[in-house]
């Protein structure tokens, strides 16, 4: 787990809320505080979509950031900055599979519950914290270290300046 401070908030928030840089991620939860606090649970409610729609649209257990992003953007746009926001994202299963396949990590896809990024803006500071969740006990920190390095590479690739805290 690492924490990075985003050095160019305007560029980052533009890429997050307007661009497509983070669209591949799923949303576990989002909370945005402006004049009220708005909380979004990213869990897809069973029964809302038919089985055919779920298959056709490739909808899983969580909403994609691309689906949630317009609602979040509508809450923060305007003349005033939000008081705070927190977005918990995770890599989708196919992305997790590709990530694991591209690295020598001694853990199977079935054992990885999630590769997370927690984005937090508060007190005029924007940070991203990485995290992993596995279904087995292990002392091996290779997955954590690789995910940390992978996320830093993701930021660099997308020209997002940061400083490790």
Q: Of 126, 123, 124, which is closest to residue 15 (Cα–Cα)?
A: 126
Would you state the pLDDT for residue 8?
Answer: 94
Q: What is the pTM of this model?
A: 0.90
C-alpha to C-alpha distance for 124 and 40, rounded to whole angstroms: 22
Query: Nearest 5 degrees, angle CA 160-CA 99-CA 70?
Result: 50
Q: Of 48, 117, 55, 47, which is closest to residue 86 (Cα–Cα)?
A: 117
Model pLDDT for residues 89-138, shown as the tens digit of each residue: 999 999 999 998 898 787 878 888 999 999 999 999 999 999 999 888 87
Number of other CB atoms surrounding residue 42 within 10 Å: 20
CB-based burial, 130-160: b 16+ in 10 Å, e otherwise: bbbeeeeeeeeeebbebbbebbbebbeeeeb
Model pLDDT for residues 5-25, shown as the tens digit of each residue: 999 999 999 999 999 999 999
C-alpha to C-alpha distance for 158 and 152, rounded to whole angstroms: 10
User: What backbone torsions phi and psi does residue 110 show, to the nearest 5 degrees?
Assistant: -65, -25
């Amino acid at each position: 787990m690492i924490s990075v401070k985003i050095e160019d908030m305007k560029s980052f928030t533009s890429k997050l809320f307007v661009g497509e840089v983070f669209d591949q991620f799923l949303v576990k939860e989002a909370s945005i505080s402006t004049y009220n606090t708005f909380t979004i649970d990213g869990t897809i409610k069973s029964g809302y979509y038919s089985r055919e729609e779920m298959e056709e649209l490739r909808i899983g257990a969580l909403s994609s950031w691309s689906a949630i992003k317009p609602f979040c953007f509508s809450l923060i746009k305007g003349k005033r900055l939000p008081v705070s926001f927190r977005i918990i994202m995770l890599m989708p299963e196919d992305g997790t599979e590709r990530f694991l396949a591209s690295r020598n990590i001694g853990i199977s896809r079935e054992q990885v519950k999630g590769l997370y990024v927690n984005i937090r803006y508060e007190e005029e500071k924007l940070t991203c914290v990485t995290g992993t969740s596995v279904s087995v006990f292990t002392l091996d920190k290779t997955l954590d270290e690789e995910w940390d390095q992978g996320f830093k590479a993701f930021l660099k690739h997308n020209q997002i300046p940061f400083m490790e805290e």
